[in-house]
Chain A
């Protein structure tokens, strides 16, 4: 464990908490993409199956359980409890166009052709594009509540911090995983436009308005 990965995990945890608080407090999931939340649940489920047979550390196990519970809890809040506030008309990204290519690519480019390895690779590829429905929704509505933009900033920062973690581990432990690194860079690049808007607007107290 290194400071970059710890900060990244905490940023990720904070993002998930911000989202749950936002939905619970405002009793509304307006502006949130249910499609992205479904993709995140698929990502965590396919990646954390090793909870059954691999124990790495209490921290690792607890965080995986928290991420799984929070992602399914968010889906429950969005599609059941506060279903009436779900923006079904704008949340129209075809997630099958993200899941299928990630699955095909995982079968072709992987470290080993074994079930758990393929599922892990699929989850890495899918996570890199899982935020697209959310960014698509924000661009369609043209704006986002400031708490939603804080959620997105934390979520984008988590994988950006992981990139520093991979650089650190390359020099400190002479290890690297190209699949995770390439997908992590793609994932972070997708946030760049949002990061720019967040830093130039939201941090100045303005609302996040996308240029129409």
Chain B
């Protein structure tokens, strides 16, 4: 999967980190110190549909379907998350209890064209 550089326009993962101190949430969230709110951005020309970030066999199958059915004009592909990972959070609830929970699929790790 690609990580966005300054001028990449193909589907890639743009990293962005929100520090809880910047938004004043470090008083009730004990850990972590911030949240990696990565997101997917970029174009998905049809010939890269089903890649990167997915099995190349899947991309080949999609590519052949696109060619065989000549859907070059109407079909389109979107830049979407293809792999995510959980986020463990330790925080105070409104009764000042400490709560620990693992939130599944919270951080985008890889992007690809649907």
Q: Do A and B bind each other?
A: no
